[in-house]
Structure 1
Amino acid sequence: MDAASSMLIAQLHLSDIDAISRSRAKGIDDFDNDDQVAGDDLELALKLQAEEYSVIFGNFKLALSMNEAMERDREILDRMRLIEQGATDDHQYAEALSRGEVLPEQSVAQRALEDPEFYNEARPPRREREEEDDLEYVSEPGTPVLRAQTPPGRAECVICGDLLSLTFSSYYRAPCEHVYCISCLSDLVTSCLNDESLYPLRCCRKELQVSRLLLLLSPQLRTQFEEKSIEFGTNTLERIYCPNPTCSKFLGSSVVHTSHVTCTRCWTSVCTSCRQPAHWEDCADNTALQQVKDLATQHGWQTCPGCHAIVELNIGCYHMTCRCRTEFCYLCAARWKNCTCPQWEEQRLLTTAAMRVEREVGQNAREARPDVFQRRVEQRVAQLRDRHDCYPHRWLTRYQPGNCEECGHYLNRFLLVCRGCHMAACVRCTRNRL
C-alpha cells in the first residue's frame, strides 16, 4: 500500500471517529454498546484511536513533505557535496605535493569543479517559503549555498556576520539588499576618508544611498564624510590643495578660485594656476613634479588619463582601473578598449599564476615537485588568458592566511578566492571595491 492510500485510510478513520463522537454528544448514538461497557470507557477508546490515527496521518504527511523537499533540492545538495569533496581532495593533493609524495589522481569532484560549465548551469528557481521550512536557497552566481533562515525581524551583517534587529537606527540596507551593521558601515566610511578608491561608497558595484547613510553616522564622521564628498566629487585636475607639507588641506576647485586662494587652516596663500605658494611673477616650472614624472618614465609607470595620477602595474593584465574609476590601457594610457595594444604580457600572467598556485599548495611545493607545480601554473595561465576580466566573481571561503590581492592587507584567518580566476581578496574588497 502506498503512502497516499495509507493517508486516505487514516483520514477516513478520523472522520468516522469524529462523526461518532458528535452523535454521542447529541444523544443519538446508533451503535449497540455492551451493557458492561461504561460510556466513559467508549469515550476513552475513541479518543485513543483518534490519537493513534492522528499520529499515523501526521507521520505520513511529514514523510511526504521531506521526500518532496529532498527531490526538489536534490541538485543543490549534490552540488554542495561535490564542492565539499573537491575542497577535501584539493587539500590532500596539496599535502602530498608539499611532502614530495606520489600525487593522487585527480578526482571526479576536482575535474567537475574545474569545468566552467559547472558554474554556468542555471540555478534552481527560488521556491515559496513554507512555514515549516528552516532553510532558504541563497547564492551568488554559480555558488550554491544553503544557509539557515534568518529569524523574522532580524538580518545578518554582510561584513561581520552579526545578527541585527531591523530597527531604523541599527542597520543599513544597500541597494543590492546586503545589510550593514552601524559599526561596519562607520568603518567603511572611515576607510573611505583615506582611500578614494572606495568612493563613491558602493556594494556589489551599486552606489549606496548617501542621504539615508548619513543619518546613521556620528556627527563628527558625518561632517568629515561630507567634506570628503566635496573633495572627491571635484574633478581631480581642478582640485587645489594647500602646498604647505604639514597641512595639505583641500581648498576647492580651480574653476571657482581663478587667481589665488588662502588656506583656512594654516593661512597659506596659494596660486591656483601652478598650485604653489602665491607669487607676483609668472608661474615657474614645477621641478618637483617633473622629477616625479621622470622617475615614472624610468620605472615604466603610467599616468592615468583621467586624473593624471601615476600608477604601477605589479601583476595581472593591462586593464587598469584608477581610483578615480577611469579605465585605461597600461601600455599607452588610452581609454580602455580604444587601442590595439595586447591585453596582457605573458610574463605577468605567469607571475600571477605562480603566486596563486603557491598560495594553494604551499611554498615547498615549487621545490618538492617542480614538474607538477609547473603543470598547475600552466593551467592557471590558460585560465587567466580566458578570464583576465573575470566578472562576476564566484567567491569561496578558503581558511588560510594571506594577502588580499586588491588592497594588500594581510588576513590571518581566511581569504575569499574566486573559483573562476583564483584571485584572493578580503571581504571589504569583494563587496566595496571589486
Structure 2
Amino acid sequence: MTTARPSGFAGTPVTGQEWTQRYGDAVMNTFGTPPRVLARGEGSSVWDVDGNRYLDLLGGIAVNALGHGHPAVVEAVTRQLTTLGHVSNLFISQPQVLLAERLLGLLGHDGRVFFANSGAEANEAAFKATRRTGRGRVVATEGSFHGRTMGALALTSKAAYREPFEPLPGGVSFVPYGDEVALAAAVDETVAAVIIEPIQGEAGVVDPPADYLRAARRITREHGTLLWLDEIQTGMGRTGDWFGHTASGVVPDLVTLAKGLGGGVPIGAMIGLGEAATLLGPGQHGTTFGGNPVSAAAALAVIDTIEGDGLLDHVRETGERLAAGLRSHPLVDHVSGRGLLRGVVLHRDVAAEVTSAAFDAGLLVNAPAPNRLRLAPPLVLTSDEADDAVATLRRLFDEVSG
C-alpha cells in the first residue's frame, strides 16, 4: 500500500512564501497564519528563511531567557542527551533532583516540586492540588491567562477563550485584578485558593498596586486559603528578580513556573511550599515526560548562567533603559512592567499597526491589546541592542502618529 503525498508537495520549500503555503496545508489552524518563517537564531537575533535579520524583543514569549543558541544550554543539553535522555518517572534522575533543590533554594523555603512540560500543565497540577484541601472554590482575576487546557482555561478570564469549550471545571470566580476590596469580599472559608499573576502578561503587562500581593497574602491567611502565584511569565529573572513576587516579600503556598525556566527547552514546575508541599500524593498526579533529564539539565544551565553572569542586575538596568527611551515619546502613555517584561501603553489603538511595521523594520514585538505592545526580549539583550530597538520603535511611533 502506498501513501499519497499531500497536494502541492514538491520537495523542500525555499522561500518564506512557499513554507507558509505548506504550513497552511499541513498544520492545524489554531494560530492563524504566522507572519514570518524563522530559520535560525543567535543571541538576541533571529533570521528568516529569506535571509532577513530581526532583533527578537519577544524571546519566544518570555521563553528564551538566554537568547538563541546559548553555549551553556547547548552544552548542557548535548552532554545530558548523550548520557541519559529519558527514563520516565518510574526512576530518579540526578538533574531532576538537583533542579528541584535549586528552585527551592531560590524561593528560600522548604517545599516540594512537581515537574511538568509547560505552564498550562503546571497550572493543571496546582489546580488539582487545591482540590485536595477539601474546598471546591478558586478565585482568579479578570484579565488573567493561565493556559488553554481545560483546567487552566477554567482559571483564564477571557470569554472568547472560555466560552467555546464550556462547561469547564467549576468553582472558579473572577474579581478585578489589583482590587483588594473585591478580593477580600470574594474569599471565605469555602475558597481553596486564590491564583494571581504578579504582573499580568497576556493582558498586556498589567501592574497591580504595589501592596496587592501583600494584601492577598493577608486575606488568604485569614481564611486558611492557599495563595497561588502564577510565575510562568514573570519568573526566572524576567523582572530583574528571580520571581515576580520577590520584591513583595510574600511567601506563597503554590508557585507555578515554565517559559524561561528551560531557556527554550520545554519544562514546567508546580512548587508547593510548607504544608502545600504534601497536597498531592502517590497516584494523584503524574506525567511521562515531566522533569526529564534533558529539560532539567537545560534549566540548571539557565539558572547557573543567570547567577554566574550577573543577569539579574543586567535585566533591571537594561529594562529601565528600554522603558526610559520609550516613555518620553508623545504616543506613549506609560511603560508598565519591570525588568525585561514591559508593556508599552499607547494613547491610540495602533499597536497592531506598529507590530506589523516593526516586522518590516527588523523587530519582533507583539500587540496583546489594541493599545499595548509587549516586550519580553532575552535576558542577554545588550545595551546597544536596547538602544537600537528604542530608536526603531520611536521612528515607527512617529510614522503612525503622522
Q: Please say whether Structure 1 and Structure 2 have the same fold, judged by a TM-score greater than 0.5.
A: no
Calculate the TM-score normalised by the size of structure 1.
0.22
Choose between structure 1 and 2: higher helix proportion: 1
- Which structure ranks higher in relative contact order (CA pairs < 8 Å, sequence separation ≥ 6)? 2
